[in-house]
């Protein structure tokens, strides 16, 4: 069965970076993409960016331009999200989700979420 298993919770200081991993199994990693979505406390879902599992092409929401890096390791079928220059309002649960391979689409399977807390 399709599974996306994310790394554990993180606590970071403002200005630091965080890297979240998302290990995919149960499907052909290179025929799908991965989107990253976050949910801050009490708020809704926010799409952050997408990466193709086939060729590593990415696109991301303008607000994260310059702070966000998404990568994949096809040998381990793992996607990574790195967010830099963290601020307290980056505190959120970060989800990876299976997406289309060529561009963004409907995300069907989701990881369990990774809580990132940014606090001094």
Partner 1 sequence: DIQMTQSPSTLSASVGDRVTITCRASQSIGDWLAWYQHKPGKAPRPLIYKASSLESGVPSRFSGTGSGTEFTLTISSLQPDDFATYYCQQYNYYSTFGQGTTVEV
**By the criterion CB under 8 A, which residues form the site for partner 1?**
35, 37, 43-47, 50, 59-63, 95, 97, 103-113
Q: Work out how close the CB of 93 gets to partner 1 at its nearest, in angstroms, rounded to a whole number.
A: 10
By C-beta, is 9 or 61 nearer to partner 1?
61
By C-beta, is 11 or 45 nearer to partner 1?
45
The answer to whether 37 and 24 have CB atoms below 8 angstroms apart is no
DSSP string, 54-120: TT--EEE-GGGTTTEEEEEETTTTEEEEEE-S--GGG-EEEEEEEE-SSS------B---EEEEE--
Q: Work out how close the CB of 120 gets to partner 1 at its nearest, in angstroms, rounded to a whole number.
A: 28
C-beta neighbour count of 91 within 10 angstroms:
17
By C-beta, is 12 or 54 nearer to partner 1?
54
Q: Work out how close the CB of 23 gets to partner 1 at its nearest, in angstroms, rounded to a whole number.
A: 16
Nearest to 17 by CA among 70, 90, 81, 83: 83
By C-beta, is 11 or 43 nearer to partner 1?
43
**The tokens 């199994």 sit on which residue?**
25
Q: Work out how close the CB of 14 gets to partner 1 at its nearest, in angstroms, rounded to a whole number.
A: 25
């Amino acid at each position: 069965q399709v599974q996306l298993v994310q790394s554990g919770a993180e606590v970071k200081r403002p200005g630091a970076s965080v890297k979240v991993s998302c290990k995919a199994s149960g499907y052909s990693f290179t025929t799908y993409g991965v989107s990253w979505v976050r949910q801050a406390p009490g708020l809704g879902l926010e799409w952050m960016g997408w990466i193709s599992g086939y060729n590593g092409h990415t696109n991301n929401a303008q607000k994260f331009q310059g702070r966000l890096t998404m990568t994949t390791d096809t040998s381990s079928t793992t996607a990574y999200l790195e967010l830099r220059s963290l601020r307290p309002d980056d505190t959120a649960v970060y989800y990876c989700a299976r997406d289309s391979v060529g561009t963004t689409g409907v995300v069907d399977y989701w990881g369990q979420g990774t809580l990132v807390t940014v606090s001094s």
